[in-house]
Structure 1
Amino acid sequence: MNFLLGLWRQRNYRMATIVGALAALWLLSGVLLKDGKQALLEAEVAKSASAIPTERMKISGRYIEAQPYTTRVVVNSRSEANRSVQLRAELDGAVAGLPVDEGQYVAKGDVICEIAAEDRPEKLTRARASLKKAELDFAGAQKLKGRGLQSGTQMAQQEVALANARADLKRAQLDVQNLKIRAPFDGVVNSRAVELGDFVRRGEECATILDLNPMLIVGEVSETRVGSLQLGAPASAQMQNGQIINGQLRYVSQQAHAVTRAYRVEVAVANDDGALRSGISARMALPTGEVMAHRINSSLLTLNDAGLLAVKILDEDQRVVLRSVQLVSDESDGVWITGLSPRTLLVTVGQEYVSVGEQVEVELEETGGDLPAPFTAVEPEREPVSVKQAAQASGESL
């Protein structure tokens, strides 16, 4: 303490201490005044910012109406001939004639293959003569029996002889008739298994004929959907080349496939001009019922927090609502969805820039039953309110 008193008695130290204290007070007063002024300015800025009205986001919307939509089950399928028959020889012999070529259309009864007659016509003539003789013998035996000159055993032998003669004639007639193998129905000769001069045996294939009208579109439906199918209901299929064909569901199997556990279905399609071929891949659509649904553009779909499909719509106060929907069908001209009210105001342009619960200003598009592809959305300009703008509005300058 004596040391400090000694320094204070010296004039130079005393003056330096006073000057330092005054400088410290001057600096401290500047900091305090600046902090107070800054706080006052920021309060004025916040008050001005709250006085500026926030502009609503401008978006486009459209009222969409629910429409009846036929639900369908779509399965992979293929075209198949209505009937496919392998014509087989019923006699042994050489092929003597092939009147039609492969790929040629034939009518019922047309000759497809012809086997050499050999001695079969002569056998037919002999069978006819034998039958005539057997009939005369039987008539004579009956007269003798009437006079009591014919025993019962002899009459039985005559009856057997007559029956044998009739059977031989029938066999000879069938042999001559089977020399020509004929088409059992109208169709096309798809392939021939023999050539002129080949020797065929009974049961060997001569040709394959296809019935292509109607053409069948066949596929398999899972066990969970087969119960909703109705015989006779209209159906359609898209061929591999893009062609759309329509027909009727004519057959649903009553037993599942042993491996796939699916049920075979057949759709009959008219093929009068023969343009459809067997074995072409297709996608078959079978009706299963009807629901009320909306059709929108697929780009309007989004996901909610649960990862489910949803769309953005507007409520009565023009606030954005994220509504979950169910996808019914995905087609080239849009998607069909359920889960919305019969009449719904859908956000069509600007849905990427608004959040759920936000109140917006909507410009209505032309109302229609479904929705075309939306225009390219341009992000609306909405400048945020800055501190500088608020200060200028209040007449203050930083």
Structure 2
Amino acid sequence: MNSIAVIWRQKNYLTALIVAAAAVLWLLSGLLRPAGDNASAVRGGDGPEVLPVTVRARRIEARPYTTLVNINAHTEANRSVRLRAELDGVITAVPVAEGRAVRQGEVICRLEAEDRPQRLERARSALRKAELDIAGARKLHKKGLLSETELAGQEASVASARAEYERARVEMENLQIRAPFAGVVNRRAVELGDFIRRGEECATLLDLDPVLVVGEVSEGVVGDLVPGRPAGAELHDRTRVEGRLRYVSRDAHETTRAYRVEVEVDNPKGQLRAGLSGRLALPTGEVRAHLINSSLLTLDDRGELGVRHLDRENRVLFSTVTLVGDGREGVWVTGLPERTTLITVGQEYVTPGQVVSVEFEDGQSGLPAPEPDGQAAIRPVAGDGEDRP
């Protein structure tokens, strides 16, 4: 029995060795097979060659795009005036309520006249008498009956009477504090019966047409701003307004080292108030940019933002881009050739250098558009740390 077991074990070892040798030979045969056999395997023997990856593409061309810088801003009145009394007196009328719009010249506050009308009448009579006296004195002077000194004294009396009359007349006019321009009475500082002294405030008047959208820009941006260019703003309630850049400060703020800018916005109905916060978009220049869908943006191995597109031979290229703006239709980017064949579907399945089959979107031919050599240098959009909306 022992000899039979030994023979059986030796037979099992021999079988295992034979199987192992066969496996090694089969593996070596794969390494030594000619390249033509591998190609046949890829083709599936004598079958047709496997087609390259198919992507969908669209031709796009660069268009002029106005670059913008966005800053925090707020609205201000075009003019804000504190109406002050020029006389001491008691307030006898306040015909305009707070918040009401007024016309230029409309009375805001009225003071008690006291004896000023009588003083005006007395000054008028004194001026009339002085004018009659000087007329008679000139006749006498022509006849040689009045000296030069006496004539000069009469002329001085006329001048004094005229000055008294003008003072009395101005005092009568100053009894009524009027609006110097059309606006809104934002605040009234006195009430009926209050005693107001000269220089004290009667009311605050705001001019809200136009209204100003005001902000500050850094020194890196201020040189690109040109007064008169169109500008826009989005207020806190999503209201969008359009206007023009009317003022760029020539002197930086002492603390922030930023420059004040003002955008003038028409406000004929007074719907915009002063003090509203928002974001101001100022034009800084114009570049050639492409409008693409934001979903086509991707990152390369170095983490740089870009898009995949094709050259004349339908070879995949990757170009880094710079975002210069966005909108409801997509994002605006620079860094691509003037004419670009952009991969719109399948970009995640291809790599740079790979040749692909292309299906163009509706309305575009199947031949790729020529691309110019090189790209124009695009200056990055100037900014002061603010992001775009």
Matches within 5 A, 1:60-75: 60-75=56-71
Alpha-carbon displacement from aligned partner over 1:119-138 (angstroms, at most 9, x marks no partner): 10000011112222323333
- Structure 1 gaps of 5+ residues are 1-14, 369-398
Please give the alpha-carbon distance, in whole angstroms, between the structure 2 residues aligned to 1:108 and 1:292.
49
1:301 counterpart residue number? 297
Are 2:102 and 1:106 equivalent residues in the alignment?
yes
Which segment is superposed worse, 264-273 or 110-119? Answer: 264-273
CA contact (8 A) 2:60 2:290 kept: yes
CA contact (8 A) 1:64 1:344 kept: yes
2:257 counterpart residue number? 261
Distance verdict in 2 for CA 1:127–1:41, change over 3 Å: same
Alpha-carbon displacement from aligned partner over 1:301-356 (angstroms, at most 9, x marks no partner): 12234433211112223222111112111334321001111221112222223222
Q: Kindly provide the amino acid, as one letter, of the partner of residue 357 in structure 1.
A: G
Are 2:213 and 1:217 equivalent residues in the alignment?
yes
1:161 counterpart residue number? 157
SS at match of 2:351: coil
Please give the alpha-carbon distance, in whole angstroms, between the structure 1 residues aligned to 2:224 and 2:13.
93
1:323 counterpart residue number? 319
SS at match of 1:102: coil
Are 2:360 and 1:364 equivalent residues in the alignment?
yes
Which segment is superposed worse, 317-326 or 183-192? Answer: 317-326
Which segment is superposed worse, 212-221 or 92-101? Answer: 212-221
2:86 counterpart residue number? 90
Please give the alpha-carbon distance, in whole angstroms, between the structure 2 residues aligned to 1:82 and 1:22.
109
Alpha-carbon displacement from aligned partner over 1:271-322 (angstroms, at most 9, x marks no partner): 1111111111122222222221111122221223443321111222322211
Alpha-carbon deviation of 1:21?
A: 12
Q: Kindly provide the amino acid, as one letter, of the partner of residue 134 in structure 2.
A: F
Please give the alpha-carbon distance, in whole angstroms, between the structure 2 residues aligned to 1:56 and 1:183.
79
Larger radius of gyration: 1
CA contact (8 A) 2:75 2:212 kept: yes
CA RMSD in angstroms comes to 3.0
Distance verdict in 2 for CA 1:32–1:282, change over 3 Å: closer
Matches within 5 A, 1:326-341: 326-341=322-337
CA contact (8 A) 1:248 1:267 kept: yes
CA contact (8 A) 2:108 2:179 kept: yes
Are 2:244 and 1:248 equivalent residues in the alignment?
yes
Distance verdict in 2 for CA 1:155–1:298, change over 3 Å: same
Which segment is superposed worse, 354-363 or 198-207? Answer: 354-363
Please give the TM-score of this superposition, normalised by the length of structure 2: 0.82
Pick from 4, 13, 23 the counterpart of residue 35 of structure 1: 23
Pick from 185, 196, 206 the counterpart of residue 181 of structure 2: 185
Alpha-carbon deviation of 1:139?
A: 3.7
Alpha-carbon displacement from aligned partner over 1:202-225 (angstroms, at most 9, x marks no partner): 111111111111111122222222
2:272 counterpart residue number? 276
Q: Kindly provide the amino acid, as one letter, of the partner of residue 62 in structure 1.
A: R
2:374 counterpart residue number? none
Q: Kindly provide the amino acid, as one letter, of the partner of residue 170 in structure 2.
A: L
CA contact (8 A) 2:81 2:204 kept: yes
Are 2:134 and 1:138 equivalent residues in the alignment?
yes
How many residue pairs were aligned?
355
Alpha-carbon deviation of 1:22?
A: 7.4
Please give the alpha-carbon distance, in whole angstroms, between the structure 2 residues aligned to 1:305 and 1:28.
49
SS at match of 2:220: coil
Distance verdict in 2 for CA 1:236–1:36, change over 3 Å: closer
SS at match of 1:177: helix
CA contact (8 A) 2:248 2:262 kept: yes
Q: Kindly provide the amino acid, as one letter, of the partner of residue 223 in structure 1.
A: E
Q: Percent identity?
A: 53
CA contact (8 A) 1:64 1:367 kept: no
Alpha-carbon deviation of 1:24?
A: 9.1
Pick from 123, 127, 132 the counterpart of residue 127 of structure 1: 123
Please give the alpha-carbon distance, in whole angstroms, between the structure 1 residues aligned to 2:74 and 2:119.
50
CA contact (8 A) 1:329 1:337 kept: yes
